[in-house]
Structure 1
Amino acid sequence: MSLLTHLLSCLFGLGSWVSINGLWVELPLIVPQIPEGWFLPSYLSVLIQMANVGPLFVTLMHRFKPGVLNEAAVVYVIIALGTVASFLLGFLWKETLVVAGAPRSVALLVLTFFLATVDCTSSVTFLPFMMRLQPQYLTSYFIGEGVSGLLPAMVALIQGVGVVRCVNATQSTNQTSNATSELQAQYQPANFSAEEFFFFLSAMMLVCLAAFILLNYHPSVARENPNSRYTNGVKQKAQRGRKWAEQKPMMEPYGQKKPKSSFGSGSYSWLQVSYIFVVLGWANALTNVVLPSVQSYSCLPYGNNAYHLSASLAAVANPLACFIAMFLPIRSLVLMGVLTVCGSAVGAFIMSMAVLSPCPLLVHDSAGAVIIVLSWVLFVLTLSYVKVMIGLILRDEGHSALVCCGAVVQLGSLLGAATMFPLVSVFGFFSSGDPCNTRCP
């Protein structure tokens, strides 16, 4: 194993979702300065799902025109597009145009759509690219993918985004009664501007581009992978087929064993393949959309510190799960099911606290804050490990399996968004808590 290749794989994975993750954590700073206000998160959710046209196109090309799509060129294009779009956001995010008689942040929305297209398409292009490297480097890629959420969150914390100070505010019920005092949430000014943050995101995409170039052309990577030219998986698949045909008589001297299915290497039956993809879609729906959409509702009633701790430690839990998988690369379908059930149970608890907001269980007790923070860490840790397990399994099944993996990741996120968007943004099913005042019996 090469430490350089591990590092490059991690930096390559960093570019997968860093742009959109960065945009989400910057919302508290952006929202007060644009005409859309807090309707912007709803618009972003719709734009991100519309951006699934990118992975849909790539998946259909693999299905009906295998070998025609030059995936290396696609990776170069989407990384370059993400770099340029992030850079332009630094100049244009506050600019507005009058549309239908009202000012709209057209530049922000259009550039966000491009960023979402880049990140969504990375699911069906970055993962298949990792097929040309040794299997152990896929875990490093997943670590980088986890860091793509952690790094923007850490920078936003340094920036001071969303930091609240509770100050006394006087409130009078009538002219004759005494004034009553309550705490009022006051957001602190940022340490540096949103423009500088977007330039940072653009720099991270450049780092991803440099890592991709080195993974393609660096001599040490080429020496470790003699057939390292990126060929859409066609050449590698043919070579694996010839090698398997040569070794098979020696491995099975007493007769040939029929493959369980025509999927990948045939190691799994169609029932097992369906099970793997259902778990993959479910885990990504929960971790990418369903639970993050209610994180503030589940945490803010316990205080602003609980909210920030849950967001920060959950972001750490993702790459931590990938790091654990590097040393414990288990592929057990039974363990996958057990971890999925456990993670889903913890997610159900978090969802129930969000439903009970602004008065969840133990809201007046410090133990409540500890429990909700640990719940978020455990939820992300278990399901992130499940996603890495599935990635390792599908990597063994070949290039097409990893393309399907990326497509199912996006499909799960799409179904999760279609479920949560009306509940959160249309019907107002959840009630937000006040980080400074708890009004519960």
Structure 2
Amino acid sequence: MSLLTHVLACLFGMGSWVAINGMWVELPLVVPEIPEGWYLPSYLTVIIQMANIGPLFITLMHHFRRGVLDERPVIYCIVGLGIIATFLLAFFWRHTVALGGSLHSVPLLVLSFLLSVVDCTSSVTFLPFMMRLRPQYLTTYFVGEGLSGLVPALVALIQGVGVVHCRNATLAGPSNKTAVNATMIDSGALEAVYQPAKFSAQVFFMFLSAMMVVCMVAFILLNHHPAVARERKSDLYFSGDLAPGKREQRLSLRAQTPEQKPMISPLENAKSSFGKGTYNNLEVLFIFIVLAWVNALTNAVLPSVQSYSCLPYGNKAYHLAAAMAAVANPVACFIAMFIPIRSLIFMGFLTMVGTGFGAYIMAMAALSPCPLLVHSAYGTVVIVLTWILFVLTLSYVKVIIGVILRDEGHSALVWCGAIVQLGSMVGAISMFPLVSVYGLFKSGDACNTKCPM
């Protein structure tokens, strides 16, 4: 295997979701400067789901016009669009347009939609492109995809986004305090003060544009560098030295070695028409249900309540949980690189374990602002550790499913990307009314926790 190809695959994967992940971590600096305020996250949720028109079109093209659509020109287009959109975002995110008698951040919303199209479409184009490389590089790609969330989070951490200091309200209020403020001051309450950022949102968006440029360069080299070309020629999937029948026979033999046959039932002859026919219809359905469920939890359901589950334990707990969860994603990919357990039984077990961690997180969010152990240091340790294990277990499941579907062929990876987006969309649509419309979750205060001991 080529180290250069591993690095390029990782950098290519980093460009998959870096733009939208960057938008989310930069929200504390963006929302005070725009008329939408903290309604922007709700708008972004809807915009991202609208952007699924991109994956839908690609999936339908692959299904009805199989072999006609080459994903490489599409990747060049969407990565180029991502470079331009993030660059323009750096200069126009504050601009507003008067619509219906009020100001709206039209440039920000339009550019966010374009970036959402880029990132959503990457799910059904980047993965199928990785079929052109040897199977080992797909796990490296998933490492890069995990870093697409970690790297912007680390840069935002350096920037100082969302860092809060608690201070006595008597030291901060204006001279003409209202009766409410006076009451708060007399009671000795604290107020949250956000620390100024070390550099502006404009610089951060320029960094995102540079990340998209790195993704484009990595993609060009994956297509044209001689070392990568040798990797493609040595892969059984693209070897021209074998006749189609012999190639399929060798692939089948390789897929059916004892450690590579993760069946959940003894029905070995009940093959399906999906992919190479390694799995029966029930197993294929199981794989896709797990894939949709895991992505719904990790990409939409639990992230939408992260602040509710962590902030009651303090601002430190919130930022530590967010940072360590972002680290857990690429760590899970590294584990899957060296321990690729493909057993569907084990996959189901891990999914249940990860869902259990998610259930605890959801319960703490529902109990906010007074979750379990809110006055204890153990509460902080438990919620942070739960977030780490939740992301670690379900990220491992996602990578293993990607590896399994990679062996089933190009169309299987297209459907993999489509199911990822479908699960994320269902999760987001389910949580949006609960969080943003009905207000079922109550936010905790990082500085004032008033709960019974």
* Match 1:243 to one of 222, 227, 247: 247
| 1:222 counterpart SS class | helix
Inter-partner Cα distance in structure 2 for 1:371 and 1:176: 35
Q: After alignment, is 179-188 or 152-161 more displaced?
A: 179-188
SS in structure 2 opposite 1:124?
Answer: coil
Relative to structure 1, the CA distance from residue 440 to residue 177 in structure 2 (aligned partners, 3 Å threshold; closer, same or farther) is: closer
Q: Distance in 2 between matches of 1:239 and 1:204?
A: 41
CA distance in 2 between partners of 1:424 and 1:12 (Å): 34
Change (3 A) 1:379 1:178: closer
Query: 1:166-177 alignment to 2 at 5 Å?
Result: 166-170=166-170
In 2, the alpha carbon distance for the partners of 1:234 and 1:194 equals: 44
Q: Is 1:325 matched with 2:336?
A: yes
Residue ranges of structure 1 left out of the alignment (5+ in a row):
none
Structure 1 counterpart SS, 2:168: strand
Confirm or deny: 8 A CA contact 2:131 2:410 kept in the other structure: yes
1:109 aligns with 2:116: no
- C-alpha change, 1:265 and 1:180, in structure 2 (3 Å) is same
Provide the residue aligned with 1:437 in structure 2.
Answer: 448
**Residue 10 of structure 2 corresponds to which residue in structure 1?**
10
Per-residue displacement from partner, 1:203-240 (whole Å, max 9, x unpaired)?
A: 00000000000011100111122289xxxx9998x965
What's the counterpart of residue 190 of structure 1? 197
Write the deviation string for residues 80-139 of structure 1: whole angstroms up to 9, x where unpaired: 000100000000000000001100000000000000000000000000000010000000
Counterpart-to-counterpart distance in 1, 2:391 and 2:372: 21
CA–CA distance in 2 between the matches of 1:246 and 1:111? 47
Where does residue 260 of structure 1 map in the other structure?
271
2:376 alignment partner in structure 1: 365
Deviation at 1:180, TM superposition (A): 2.6
1:380-402 CA-to-partner distances (Å, cap 9, x unmatched) read 00000000010010000000000
1:285 aligns with one of 277, 292, 296? 296
Please list, as runs of the form range in 1=range in 2, the aligned pairs for 1:264-413 lying within 5 A after superposition. Answer: 264-413=275-424
Partner-residue secondary structure (3-state), 2:126: helix
CA distance in 2, matches of 1:213, 1:162: 36
Q: Does 1:36 align with 2:40?
A: no
Identity %: 67
Q: Which amino acid aligns with 1:30?
A: V
String of CA shifts for 1:34-57, please: whole Å, max 9, x gaps: 000000000000000000000000
Contact map agreement 1:259 1:265 (CA 8 A) in 2 = no
Q: So what's the TM-score if we normalise by structure 2?
A: 0.91
Matched, 1:219 2:226: yes
User: Which AA in structure 2 matches 1:215?
Assistant: L
RMSD: 2.2
Whole-angstrom CA distance in 2 between matches of 1:284 and 1:346:
15
**Cα distance in 2 for residues equivalent to 1:298 and 1:413:** 20
Q: CA deviation at 1:70?
A: 2.4
Cα deviations by residue, 1:133-152 (Å, 9 ceiling, x for unpaired): 00000000000000000000
Number of residue pairs the alignment of both structures matches: 431
For 2:238 and 2:230, locate their aligned partners in 1 and report how far apart those are by CA, in whole Å.
20
Contact 1:317–1:377, Cα closer than 8 Å, also in 2? yes
CA drift of 1:432 comes to 0.1
Q: Which residue pairs with 2:98 in the alignment?
A: 98
- 1:331-384 deviations in Å (ceiling 9; x for gaps): 110110000000000000000000000000000001000000000000000000
Structure 2 contact 169–184 (Cα < 8 Å) conserved: no
- Per the alignment, do residues 239 and 102 of structure 1 end up closer, same or farther by CA in structure 2, a change over 3 Å counting? farther
What is the deviation of 1:181?
1.3
In structure 2, what residue type is equivalent to 1:425? S
Tell me the amino acid that sits aligned with residue 128 of structure 1. Answer: P
Distance 1:188 1:248, change over 3 A: closer
Give distance in 2, aligned partners of 1:175 and 1:43.
36
Which deviates more from structure 2 when the two are superposed, residues 239-248 or residues 396-405?
Answer: 239-248
Q: Distance in 1 between matches of 2:183 and 2:150?
A: 52
Detail structure 1 runs of 4+ shifted over 4 Å in the superposition.
Answer: 171-178, 233-236, 238-242, 245-249
Give the whole-Å Cα distance in 1 for the aligned partners of 2:140 and 2:3.
Answer: 10
CA distance in 2 between partners of 1:59 and 1:401 (Å)? 11
> How far apart are the structure 1 equivalents of 2:35 and 2:41?
13
Matches within 5 A, 1:110-189: 110-170=110-170, 179-189=186-196
Is this contact kept in 1: 2:294–2:398, CA < 8 A? Answer: yes
Question: Are 2:435 and 2:441, in contact at CA under 8 Å, matched by a contact in 1?
Answer: yes
Which SS does the other structure have where 1:260 is aligned?
Answer: coil
How far, CA to CA, are the matches of 2:397 and 2:119 in structure 1? 21
